[in-house]
Amino acid sequence: MQVWPMVGLNVVLAVINIWYLRAMLATRHDEQTYQVVEVGTDDAFLAHTLSVHGADIARFNPDFRWDPAPGRSAFLVVQADQVVGVVVSHAETGGVAQIDLDYVTQRFRDFTPGEFVYRRSRLFTDRGFRRVVSPPGMVAPYYHRLGFRREGDAYVLDLPAAA
């Protein structure tokens, strides 16, 4: 008899968790879910975000070293007022955007924020890029799910021409 309150609590928690998971899954491909916001490489909030998530960034992007050098572009992927991820890139010759950092916070992994950065935001095509190259050496890359093809130790996405 003493176990029934615990069973009841677990049932209530399971229903709540299912409700939130359903809501998150239902909006993961919705264009209103994520926005990509450009920030300056010297932006204090960008520096704060990189610092707060530094250990996790190093786990998935072991070769990344932050350098706010000119020529780099930085973007925050946000959902309402939450930072979901960070993308840092620089231009290479021939219309190539080289990604230096592609990071998504733990809470939003597997909820497709990369789809909005690389497929829907026109982030790179509006800047005249024709190809995007992932950072080499990234741990657990997900780019194959977004249409990138493997090329050496990186992934490459050919972009459509800007309209």
Residue 153 shares a structural domain with residue 78: yes
- The least confident of 72-76, 118-122, 133-137, 152-156 is 118-122
Residue 70 shares a structural domain with residue 147: yes
Q: Which of 13-17, 26-30, 52-56 is predicted most confidently? A: 52-56
Q: Tell me the mean pLDDT in the region 86-111.
A: 90
Instruction: Return the higher-pLDDT residue of 28 and 25.
Output: 25
The domain that holds 93 is classified in CATH as 3.40.630.30
Contacts of 114 (CB under 8 A, 6+ apart): 85, 102, 104, 142, 143, 146
φ, ψ (nearest 5 deg) of residue 58: -65, -30
pLDDT in tens, 125-163: 888 999 999 998 888 888 888 889 999 989 999 988 765
Mean pLDDT (the chain, rounded): 86
Instruction: Return the higher-pLDDT residue of 27 and 149.
Output: 149
Residue 53 lies in a domain: yes
Residue 8 shares a structural domain with residue 76: no
Q: Is the pLDDT confidence value at 113 over 80?
A: no
Residue 104 shares a structural domain with residue 24: no
The boundaries of the domain holding residue 20 are: 1-30
Residue 108 shares a structural domain with residue 62: yes
Q: Tell me the mean pLDDT in the region 44-59.
A: 95
pLDDT value for 91:
94
What percent of the chain is modeled with pLDDT above 90?
Answer: 45
Tokens standing for residue 127: 């800047």
Which of left, alpha, beta for 17 (phi over 0: left; psi -120 to 50: alpha)?
A: alpha
Q: Is the pLDDT confidence value at 33 over 80?
A: no
CA torsion, ordered 140, 53, 40, 75, to nearest 10 deg: 40
Question: Rounded CA gap, 84 and 15, in Å?
Answer: 25
pLDDT value for 29:
57
